[in-house]
């Protein structure tokens, strides 16, 4: 639980039930926009998702969680592909042969 969740719960508790549900819906939609933007999936986005799970119904979050993790997978894959396509042949004095695990990742990516 993040520090922000305590503050949000405190703010929401000041309203009646109908207003609380409206505030939670608004918070969910705002958080969804932030989570699925073009920026990298960072630790803060993961914390925001966990906070949403504390407030919002679990069923509503399954699709959002899957979308967020798909973004993270695509970003990681893009990073790996960028590293693969980069020509490091000029930097061989500083960067030595890749580790065995990098070769296995490259092979796996090329096969999928």
3-state SS record for 23-42: HHHHHHHHHHHHHCCCCCCC
What is the C-alpha to C-alpha distance for residues 2 and 56, in angstroms, rounded to an integer?
A: 15
pLDDT tens digits along 30-43: 888 888 888 888 88
- What is the reported pTM? 0.60
Task: Select from 59, 51, 65 the least CA-distant residue to 8.
Answer: 51
Q: Tell me the pLDDT tens digit for each residue of 35-91.
A: 888 888 888 888 888 888 888 766 668 888 888 888 888 888 888 877 776 665 665
- Please name which of 51, 46, 62, 64 lies closest in space to residue 24, comparing C-alpha atoms: 51
Cβ atoms within 10 Å, residue 46: 15
């Amino acid at each position: 639980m993040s520090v922000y969740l305590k503050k949000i719960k405190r703010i929401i508790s000041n309203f009646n039930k109908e207003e609380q549900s409206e505030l939670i819906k608004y918070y969910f939609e705002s958080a969804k926009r932030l989570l699925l933007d073009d920026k990298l999936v960072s630790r803060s986005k993961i914390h925001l998702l966990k906070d949403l799970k504390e407030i919002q119904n679990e069923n509503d979050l399954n699709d959002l969680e899957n979308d967020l993790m798909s973004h993270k997978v695509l970003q990681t894959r893009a990073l790996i592909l960028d590293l693969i396509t980069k020509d490091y042949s000029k930097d061989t004095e500083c960067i030595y042969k890749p580790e065995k695990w990098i070769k296995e990742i490259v092979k796996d990516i090329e096969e999928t």
